[in-house]
Structure 1
Amino acid sequence: MFGKRGAQTVSASIQKSDIQMPDQLQGKVHFLQMSQTDLDRLKQIEPLLTEHLEAITERHYHMLCQYSHLMQIIETHTTVDRLAVSFRHYLQSLPHGKLDDAYVAGRKKIGEVHSKIGLAPEWYTGSYLRVYEFLIPAIINTYSKRPQELSSVLLALMKIITLDSQIVLQSYQEDNDYKVIDRLGEVLELVIQIDKFKHVLDTLEDTTEEAGNVGSAAEQLSESVQKVAQSAVSVAESASTTIEQATMGKDIIQESLTSFLSMADEFQEMQTKISQLVTSIAEVSQVVQVIRNIADQTNLLALNASIEAARANEHGRGFAIVADEVRKLAEQTKQSVQSITATINNVQNEAVQVKETATLMSDHFSDKVIQTRDAIGILGDIVQNIETVGHSTGHIAALAQEQSAATDDISMRISQVQTNMEQVSSHVSNAGKNVYDVGAGINSLHKLSITQTSQLKTKHYLRIVKTDHLLWRWWLYNFMLGYHHIDEKELVDHHQCRLGIWYVEALNNPSLSTLPSFKQLDAPHRQFHETVRRIYHFVKQGKLEEAEATFDTLEDISQRILHVLDQLAEEVS
């Protein structure tokens, strides 16, 4: 086709490009072996491109309309007419042959937009065929008699389109990579926010400990109530015996007094009966003393029960009421016993006087008969009071036994609550470990995504740094929980972490170092790393309370750093 003169052959040597261009293009341009001559050749096709501009554009969008999903993307974000204007502008820029920052920014913008709207790369690269369809035949027709120039022009066109596609696709890939990194960062930050396990575990530990204390107190109360119940039963049994003895005593005294009345005419027999009366009264005094001892003992038991009930707080309130009633009954019994004792003492004194003045009783016998009859009535009242005390004591014993059973049940339930709390604490701890494992797994994927991204914009890098910062705080939190291991060698200073390395490099970039928020970053960042180290050593020394208190300070510092990073990202954008 080109005749015997032959086409241009590729040079065997690798040439260094003579084009003035940004550093970021050096590698690509060198790989494509582009030179200033190639850029000059591109200017030669400008008339051809202008001639076929509308045909290329019309053909391109006619093809796009054949695919419904592509039209849906276009209709969602723009219009065909607006895209046609942008496409013409792009085609017109091809022959200009100037590889500067504006050129790179324009191509990168195309990749970013395509990534944003979800246009797959194959559709973009396919659009270059529309250029080839019209320009290659036109170039061949124009330079058919100059084969060497023809090959040079075609090669220059292919080089610039290849360079364009490299920049666009790299930008597209970087933007997509950042989307993955950003989504992983968002998920990781959501996991990081699940940081209440320590608070829950501490609360459960305190609750379990309190339940244990209550359980111990309940056991002590149960033992005390059992003792009270046993004592109450013993008192009730003693009261029953006392009632029987008092009834028997009453019958004996009544029989003696009846005999005394029948011996009105027999003085000697009266003296004998009086001696029996004195003896019986002494026995009654002993019975009354027993009753007094029982009343005192009951009062003491009621007081002890009130004290134990007070220690049990809400759990002992019911028993406290019962104990108070027991104490009141004991006081009443004591008062009755005092009255009985006084009466018996009077009777005893009178009986002695009767014995000593037996000879005088004949003159006053009628009066003494009346007094004797009164004594029988009083003795009946005494026996009745003793029976009342006995019944009350029996009721107290029954209540004490019921309370003993209730406190045993309370103690058992508290023990079960403590067991359940320990199980809940174990489940919460396992859940915290599972969340930590999930976070660690997501972080591994997040780190892998970052390493596979060739280049990141400053605002994207700041987004990653923000996640890193939150993650460091979370690692420390899990270190305090015992889930995460931190080697002291990992505790680098504020110039050796990802943010610190970027900060040091950015100091030499006036467009960053002069920003207001940039100047506010170093101080809190240094404080953060110093505080992290302090918390680490507190945990290692077992000073967990100091570590937790210092962690609150770290939270405040962290919020300041995040605020500055957000401001810096806005200023960079």
Structure 2
Amino acid sequence: MNIFRKKTKSWSEYMDHPRSTDLSEASDVIIERLAFMGITQETLTYIKQSAHLLSPYKSDIIDQFYRSITSVEHLRQIIDQHSRVDRLKVTMEKYLEQFLQAEVHHEYVMTRVIIGHVHSRIHLTAEHFISAHHLLIQIMTSILMENLHNDPDRMMKTVLAVQKLAAFDQQLIVEVYMEETFKSFLFGVSDMLNHMTQLDTTGQLIKGMEKQIEESHSVSAAAEEMSASIQEVADHALTVAEGTDDAVETAERSKHVINKALGDIQQVGRVYDEIMEQVQRLNQEIEHTQEVVNIIKDIADQTNLLALNASIEAARAGEQGRGFSIVASEVRKLAEHTKEQISRITTSIASLQHVSSQVTQQIGDTGKLVEQSANEAHNADEALKKIVATIQEINQATTQIAAMAEEQTSSVIDIASRNSVILDLSTHSQTIARQTAETVLELSKRIDDYRRTFFTINVKLDYKDTIRVAKTDHLLWKWKVYNMLLGLDSVTAGQVSSHEECRLGLWYDGELPSQIQGHPAFQQLKAPHKAVHDCAKLAAQKYEEGNIAEAYAAFEQLQEQSGLVIALLTQLEAELSLSTRG
């Protein structure tokens, strides 16, 4: 029976066909790919004819496919994370139906593009997708070979047709997947650069280290001054301590002098007491004398009266009483004289009493003064005791201050020593900070070089993608100017391009849909974008001239305008994202 079995042609006959296609319901790029793979209308016809052979096995194909897929732990985790097997089976059934219909048109191509987008979004690697897709083709070709083995020529043509169209599908899906993956890498790198360009902490760190070094120098100078001041305080404290020692000795001597004076005053008080007693006795004697004088006066008055009577009687007696009259006259003269002397004595006694009274009063006053002086001397003694005690306490405190000042001097010297270490560490940290800033700058340049390689692999960027790339370009230029001001990068005014020549400017002036051109954010973009370039050029020019202050002022304006540019681009990007989802 083998002599009746049909044989296949040579394999080369199946491969030997012109690289062309008679299909025309697709774009030029798609037609070119179909031609390269030799996919013609005949190829699609063989696939359509195979539908009646594969359709009965559709459920078996899908079940076998997902049994194999879910046996791989990594693929099963992706399915569990993003979907369910029953939902994926429905999607697979639609894919097989469309594949077997073999109508290669715009909708067919777009469904494959969507599959590529989905696989990129769920991070299914191209390796796993190609392996899984080949598994599907293996199942399909196995069924076809089993059913068409009696007609080898048809089997070969049908299997080749399925493989060609499946390869076309793979190319579309993997191309989109790779393009999306490249974009993901591109924008991941761009986001990394965007964040890196916000790292103004390097400049803050360098300036902070400079400030810390200045402060360390100030602390060193202050420590030296403080050490000198403390030493001076210690010297003064010692001088004061010595002075207080002298003061204590002087106060002690003064205390002895006051105590002696107090004794003398008390002795004077006792003398005054004795004088007071004598004066009082004198007053008593004067009073007694006054009494005697009064008696004598009375006697004189009586004598005078008797003399007068005697004279009268003598006159009566006549001649016989003449002698008696003479005696009476003499007695009367004596009485008168006595009376005069008594009057003088009385006057003297009165004067003596007056003087005695004054002396008594003065002695009393003097006694009070002596008593007051004695009290004050006693108080002075008590005060002096307190003064001596206070001076001794001051002396002890001053001695302690001197000792503490010596300790503080030692502490200040230790602080100065430690501050010297801090200064060395700050200088070292500043060097490391600058080296870190240089490393970050160099890293940003290398990342940007890596980012630029994506533009050489023909990654297709839509309007939204172009905006994202332009934002990164914009931030990188600001980053270059920032590092120029730190002295880490060199930017000349001539290197700053015009706002019309950069990627954003070329995109802005290019052919854009009315949806973008009519957006308010787009219409407001040109002025701040131009200002950014002008400020960058001005900052570079002022830096070249050595006018750092004006260079920083220009950079501040650049940052302000840059913020407006980024905000407007973000609005446009959000608008395009909404329209894409819509």
Q: Same fold (TM over 0.5)?
A: yes
CA contact (8 A) 1:491 1:533 kept: yes
Q: What per-residue deviation string (whole Å, max 9, x for no partner) do you get for residues 62-121 of structure 1?
A: 331134235554454243431233223431452x244x4x44433222222223331532
TM-score, with length taken from structure 1: 0.63
What is the SS of the residue equivalent to 1:492? coil
Alignment pair present for 1:63 and 2:60? no
1:139-538 correspondence to structure 2 within 5 Å = 159-241=164-246, 244=249, 377=377, 387=388, 391=392, 394-395=395-396, 397-402=398-403, 404-405=405-406, 407-409=408-410, 411-412=412-413, 414-415=415-416, 416-417=418-419, 419-420=421-422, 423-424=425-426, 426-427=428-429, 430=432, 433-434=435-436, 437=439, 440-441=442-443, 444-445=446-447, 447-448=449-450, 451-452=453-454, 453-458=457-462, 459-486=464-491, 490-505=495-510, 507-510=511-514, 512-538=516-542
Cα distance in 2 between the residues matched to 1:43 and 1:30:
13
How far the C-alpha of 1:48 sits from its partner, in A, is: 0.7
**Alignment-mate amino acid for residue 63 of structure 1:** Q
Percent of aligned pairs with the same amino acid: 21
Q: CA deviation at 1:247?
A: 6.1
1:456–1:3 Cα change, 3 Å: closer
Q: Which of 114, 120, 124 matches 1:115?
A: 120
Deviation at 1:455, TM superposition (A): 1.5
Whose Rg is larger? Answer: 2
Gaps of 5+ in 2: 1-6, 268-361
Measured in 2, the distance between the counterparts of 1:28 and 1:561 equals: 41
Give the AA of the match of 2:91.
L
What does residue 137 of structure 2 align with?
128
CA shift for structure 1 position 184: 3.5
How far apart are residue 215 of structure 1 and its match? 4.5
Contact 1:517–1:564 (Cα < 8 Å) also in 2: yes
Q: Which residue of 2 aligns with 1:571?
A: 575
Q: Could you list the per-position Cα deviations for residues 301-329 of structure 1 after superposition, in whole angstroms to 9, with x for gaps in the alignment?
A: xxxxxxxxxxxxxxxxxxxxxxxxxxxxx
CA distance in 1 between counterparts of 2:261 and 2:175 reads 127
Output the CA distance in 2 between the equivalents of 1:511 and 1:255: 116
Query: How do 1:30-109 residues align onto structure 2 when only pairs under 5 Å count?
Result: 31-32=36-37, 39-42=40-43, 44-45=45-46, 47-55=48-56, 57-64=58-65, 65-67=67-69, 68-69=71-72, 70=75, 73-74=78-79, 76-78=82-84, 79=86, 80-94=88-102, 96-98=103-105, 100=106, 102-109=107-114
Q: Structure 1 residues 571 and 407, CA, compared in 2 at 3 Å: closer, same or farther?
A: same
Note if contact 1:184-1:442 (Cα within 8 Å) is conserved in structure 2: no
Q: Does the Cα contact within 8 Å between 1:191 and 1:435 map onto a contact in 2?
A: no
Q: Distance in 2 between matches of 1:373 and 1:155?
A: 141
Alpha-carbon distance in 2 for matches of 1:237, 1:483? 63
Asked whether the 8 Å contact 2:202–2:437 carries over to 1, the reply is no
CA contact (8 A) 1:233 1:394 kept: no
Once the two structures are superposed, what CA deviation does each residue of 1:477-529 show, in whole Å capped at 9, x if it has no partner? 34433444445554223333343344444x35556444554434333322223
Q: In 2, Cα distance between the equivalents of 1:411 and 1:537?
A: 48
**1:240 CA drift (Å):** 3.6
CA deviations 1:241-293 (Å, max 9, x no partner) are: 4665676688799999999x99xxxxxxxxxxxxxxxxxxxxxxxxxxxxxxx
Name the aligned partner's letter for residue 121 of structure 2.
K
Query: SS of the residue aligned with 2:68?
Result: coil
Q: Is the 8 A contact 1:531 1:550 kept in 2?
A: yes
- Judged with a 3 Å threshold, the aligned counterparts in structure 2 of structure 1 residues 542 and 56 are, in CA distance, closer, same or farther, namely farther
Unpaired runs of 5+ residues, structure 1, are 263-363
The Cα offsets for residues 340-399 of structure 1, whole Å up to 9 and x where unpaired, read as xxxxxxxxxxxxxxxxxxxxxxxx99989x979969959978976885685366346425
Q: Measure how far apart 1:423 and its partner are.
A: 1.9
In structure 1, C-alpha distance between the alignment counterparts of 2:528 and 2:151, rounded to whole Å:
67
Q: Tell me, in whole angstroms, the C-alpha distance in 1 between the residues paired with 2:99 and 2:23.
A: 24
Match of 2:563 among 559, 562, 567: 559
